[in-house]
């Protein structure tokens, strides 16, 4: 039997790069990795990965970049506000290149997520309108994001957000990468969607309690209004439209839209996702 060829877009990013690493540990798979800057992936090329340049803004070049792939991972770009055009260009190119199945890193289709949710919904609709079989991976919020915000909370003793008592089924980037790699090398066909989450939903108050125990000093959760949260972000230098995009996540959390936990990670990979408390404990040094 011939060796199946899989393709990973955005392989220069954290998620795409980790998926390539996981695929390299898989026997019997030929890997294509695409990026805007192939020089960044010289290490992968040296390990036998077919590294190709692909720029979603240059649609005419994409079919060639995707040629030969049977299944492809479309990693959502980070260009909020411009993603629909980029993703639909890639979807059209996948069709022209003869790709049979696309795995897309989507997000929960929460009503309150604003432009972020709208872009993922539009991409999912473009896949539905295409001829491609596809798997939608609706990744919940990364647990890794706490490593950016918790050091300030530890320093001040206050974890400030607008989430109220809302909970999130936080999932690690590693578990998202494992799920993506597993979905990419599946041999199944058709169309399906998976909610990629951690094992349980956790509130900000519970996170504050976890951190207090880990660092040995009190951190308490303080929930403020959305307008106060936005004003604070603007005061720290964020443009108000960007602050509103971030605040939409707190609105969705407060309304319970990101709390549902799913067994999909374990079903896809055979291993349960990491709990948030275990993730924070493993990254204790980053908390301050």
Q: What pLDDT score does 27 carry? A: 85
Length of the chain: 288
Residues contacting residue 271 through CB under 8 Å, at least 6 positions apart: 178, 265
Q: Closest Cα to residue 171, out of 137, 203, 198?
A: 198
Q: What pLDDT score does 66 carry? A: 97
pLDDT tens track for 23-66: 999 988 999 999 999 999 999 999 999 999 999 999 998 999 99
Q: Read off the pTM.
A: 0.96
Q: For residue 23, give the CATH number of its domain.
A: 3.40.50.720
Confidence class of residue 1 from pLDDT cuts 50, 70 and 90?
very low
Same domain, yes or no, for 131 and 144? no
b/e 209-248 (16+ beta carbons within 10 angstroms → b)? bbbbebbeeebebebbebeebbeebeeeeeeeeebbbebb
Phi, psi torsion values for 78, nearest 5 degrees: -100, 10
Helix (H) or strand (E) holding 173: helix 173-185
Domain that holds residue 223: 140-172+197-259+273-288
Q: For residue 288, give the CATH number of its domain.
A: 3.90.25.10
In the predicted structure, residue 106 carries a pLDDT above the cut 80: yes
Q: What pLDDT score does 212 carry? A: 97
Please give the Cα distance from 243 to 125 (Å, whole number): 27
Same domain, yes or no, for 287 and 151? yes
Q: What pLDDT score does 2 carry? A: 62
In the predicted structure, residue 283 carries a pLDDT above the cut 50: yes
Same domain, yes or no, for 161 and 121? no
Residues contacting residue 73 through CB under 8 Å, at least 6 positions apart: 6, 7, 8, 9, 16, 19, 102, 103, 104, 105, 180, 183, 184
Average pLDDT on 94-121 reads 96
pLDDT tens track for 77-92: 988 888 999 999 999 9
In the predicted structure, residue 168 carries a pLDDT above the cut 90: yes
């Amino acid at each position: 039997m011939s060796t199946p060829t899989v393709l990973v877009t955005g392989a220069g990013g954290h998620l795409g790069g980790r998926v390539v690493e996981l695929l390299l540990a898989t026997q019997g798979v030929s890997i294509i990795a695409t990026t805007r800057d192939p020089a960044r992936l010289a290490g992968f090329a040296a390990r036998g990965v077919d590294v190709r340049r692909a720029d979603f803004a240059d649609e005419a070049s994409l079919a060639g970049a995707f040629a030969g792939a049977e299944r492809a991972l479309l990693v959502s770009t980070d260009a909020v506000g411009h993603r629909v055009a980029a993703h639909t260009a890639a979807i059209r190119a996948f069709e022209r290149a003869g790709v049979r199945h696309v795995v897309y890193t989507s997000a929960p289709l929460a009503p309150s997520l604003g432009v972020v949710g709208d872009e993922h919904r539009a991409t999912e609709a473009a896949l539905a309108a295409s001829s491609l079989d596809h798997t939608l991976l609706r990744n919940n919020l990364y647990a890794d994001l706490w490593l950016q915000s918790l050091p300030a909370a530890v320093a001040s003793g206050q974890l400030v957000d607008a989430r109220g008592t809302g909970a999130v089924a936080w999932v690690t980037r590693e578990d998202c990468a494992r799920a993506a790699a597993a979905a990419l090398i599946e041999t199944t066909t058709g169309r399906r969607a998976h909610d990629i989450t951690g094992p349980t939903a956790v509130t900000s108050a519970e996170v504050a309690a976890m951190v207090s125990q880990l660092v040995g000093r009190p951190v308490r959760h303080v929930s403020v209004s959305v307008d106060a949260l936005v004003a604070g972000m603007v005061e720290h230098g964020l443009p108000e439209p960007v602050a509103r995009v971030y605040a939409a996540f707190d609105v969705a959390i407060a309304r319970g839209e990101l709390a549902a936990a799913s067994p999909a990670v374990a079903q896809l990979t055979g291993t349960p996702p990491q709990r948030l408390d275990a993730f924070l404990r493993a990254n204790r040094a980053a908390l301050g």
